[in-house]
Amino acid sequence: MKKGNTVVIVGAQWGDEGKGKIVDVLSENFDCVARYAGGHNAGHTVIIKGQKFVLQLIPCGVLREGRKSVIGNGVVLDPFAFMKEVNSLKGMGVKLDGHLFVSNRAQVILPYHRMIELAAENAPGRVKIGTTSRGIGPAYEDKMKRSGLRVVDLLNKELLKTHIENACREKNLIAHALFNSDPLDPDTMFREYSDIAEQVRPFVTDTAELLNKALSAGQSIMFEGAQGTMLDIDHGTYPFVTSSSATSGGAVIGTGVAPTAINTVVGVTKAYCTRVGGGPFPTELQDSLGEAIRKRGNEFGAVTGRPRRCGWVDLPLLRYSAMINGVSWWVVTKLDVLDELAEVPVCVAYKVNGKKTTAIPADAGTFDKIECVYETLPGWKTSTEGITEFDKLPKKAQDYLRFLEKESGARIGMVSTGPDRDQTMFMEGFRSVVGQSESHTAVQRR
């Protein structure tokens, strides 16, 4: 593996681009895999020789023996969800002890976070943004309010008891006044969280120190994003966004490594586009074709099971994502899902109030006025499933990928042609970026 190499893997659109598989495929080339944002509202599905792993909090690096996997300070941790995932993975034979680490500075999700989020999302007159109601947003709210509970505090019984008593007093009043919610019992909560804290304790460390020591020793790190660029709290389709920094910049904030430590940013995009939850989606297909793509692509949330909205690749959005993240390489996933189509439209520009533009609006209201300008490419009507060499793809599939690369502002480094780890194509030049020898597998370039 390439020593000292650092790569950030980021979703190009609204998440669900298939980052889990990509992180898993590439993790064999890195000493550490670090998750830097989000909570157990993010899901990564990895399939290895037919066996399915669904990861919510734990980085995909745990599926590679000998790698260190880190949950960074930018993540919000539900300790019960974490231990459930730990025990599930151990039951599947995954070795975690001594390989999985949780930041002592990560924020903790508590029951009142879920109570408030669920009540607020269902409050009369509120615009639904499609949250998972797992307490992610309110936990980040408390973090920014400087009233949150960190993992290091979870392990201090005296501090934990005081925090829960004070928080329940405040949150129960708020929830009852605004939503008429039933109060939570602080004594029960303390007992439950005091017990789970001891199960979490063996995994807790100063992960910023761990990662920086690894870099100083010349070890390589891959930073694993959650959600996608357009769900970023600052740069996404606000207010239909998540509560954390989902862009590549979040890797620095959410782990404690320096900006100068990042070598490369790799963006992940499907060969089409999806979104789960509410909010703008200019290229969405609200017809039988959208339903067919959803069914063929198995487009249902890994964590929630919610059906994903499906549409075409949006080049203005892809270019924006490349700019915001500093993407130099794309990974294109689920190419095989388009195999049966006679033609594949791609959005190349927008029209807003009759004027052509490629700018991404800052406000959701302007998104609602967008008319997409499409360029239609011919489909290939031939199976690409499992193909691992570019020259063996149908010519029209090659042309489609060439078009996306030419128009998007970054090179294509990998293409996924199926859900399994082995159904992956590497392009020339990309292996050296991720620390692999070009001779690792035969590589074909257009």
- Give the catalytic positions in this structure: 16, 44
CA distance 129 to 132: 10
Phi (first) and psi of residue 102, to 5 degrees: -120, 135
CA distance 150 to 152: 5
Distance of CA 364 to the CA centre of its chain: 22
- DSSP SS3 for 122: coil
Burial class (CB in 10 A: 0-12, 13-18, 19+), 208: middle
- DSSP SS3 for 46: strand
With CA atoms as reference, report the closest residue to 173 among 107, 114, 112, 110.
112
The percent helix, strand, coil of the chain (3-state, each to 5) is 35, 20, 40
With CA atoms as reference, report the closest residue to 145 among 119, 118, 116.
116
- DSSP SS3 for 240: coil
CA distance 162 to 66: 39
